[in-house]
Amino acid sequence: MKKVLTYGTFDLLHFGHINLLRRAKELGDYLIVGLSTDEFNKGKNKQAYHSFENRKMILESIRYVDEVIPENTWDQKIQDVIDHNVDIFVMGDDWKGKFDFLKEYCEVVYLPRTIGISTSKIKNDLNVVKNG
Ligand code: C2G
For the question of residue 46 being annotated catalytic, the response is yes
HEC secondary structure over 45-71? CCCCCCCHHHHHHHHHCCCCCCEEEEE
Q: How far, in Å, CA of 119 to CA of 63, rounded?
A: 21
Predicted local confidence at residue 80, as pLDDT: 98
**Residues with Cβ within 8 Å of residue 19, at least 6 apart in sequence:** 114
pLDDT > 90: percent of the chain: 95
Pocket mutation for ligand 1, best pick of 4, 6, 7, 68 (most atoms within 8 Å of C-beta): 7
Q: Is 108 in the pocket of ligand 1 (CB under 6 A)?
A: no
Q: Classify 111 as helix, strand or coil.
A: strand
Q: Write down the mean pLDDT value for the chain.
A: 97
For the question of residue 56 being annotated catalytic, the response is no
Summarize the confidence of residues 13-41 as an average pLDDT: 98
For residue 130, pLDDT over 80 is answered with yes
Q: What is the pTM of this model?
A: 0.96
Active-site entry in 44, 98, 121, 123? 44
Q: Is 50 in the pocket of ligand 1 (CB under 6 A)?
A: no
**Residues with Cβ within 8 Å of residue 131, at least 6 apart in sequence:** none
Closest C-alpha to 68, from 39, 34, 41: 34
CA torsion 100-17-15-61 (nearest 10°) is 140
Across 9-117, the runs of DSSP E, i.e. the strands, are 30-36, 67-71, 88-92, 107-111
Predicted local confidence at residue 132, as pLDDT: 74
Q: Is 14 in the pocket of ligand 1 (CB under 6 A)?
A: no
pLDDT tens track for 103-118:
999 999 999 999 999 9
Window from 29-33, 105-109, 127-131 with minimum mean pLDDT = 127-131
pLDDT tens track for 66-104:
999 999 999 999 999 999 999 999 999 999 999 999 999
